Structure 1
């Protein structure tokens, strides 16, 4: 959605906010599952998994956390008003 919104326009901010929230949540879940699959050995120096999941966690926090972007998205939807809420949600 964020890529299709183009470089500018009214649909860019909500699309970017939604993408950041979803990608951050997915990165956190992927890291947790990877450690579960490896029996948590990925937290030790014996396995390289901690290098990759550490990067995922760092990238997840870059440019704002999911909660901050969820607030941006929420403010956008609130600004649409009662009559514009559903059209704003379904515009994508």
Structure 2
């Protein structure tokens, strides 16, 4: 089911997944570049720092996933909560 823009469940799921992906993207980028991005002279360091910063703004992926799980568990019909209206 497609949720309406701004739906709290959709927002929480998007934040959790985007934050998780940001961590994976940063790790893979550093592996591809042989950890060159850890040095101050490579632009990857700046990009990675911003990814990590954005990942933690307004709560990290664990916090959002926990909130989604708690909301689903507390719902009268967890399946309907997960699959949407």
Cα separation, 1, equivalents of 2:60 and 2:5: 23
Contact 1:14 1:72 in 2 (8 A): no
Higher relative contact order (CA 8 A, sep 6+): 2
Question: Aligned to 1:46, what secondary structure does the other structure show?
Answer: coil
The alignment's TM-score, normalised by the length of structure 1, stands at 0.82
Structure-to-structure mapping, 1:3-82, within 5 angstroms: 4-7=3-6, 12-81=7-76
Structure 2: gaps (5+ residues): none
User: Higher mean Cα deviation, 16-25 or 70-79?
Assistant: 70-79
Structure 1: gaps (5+ residues): none
Cα separation, 2, equivalents of 1:89 and 1:56: 28
The alignment's TM-score, normalised by the length of structure 2, stands at 0.88
Q: Deviations over 1:55-86 (max 9, x none)?
A: 000000001111111121012101213xx111
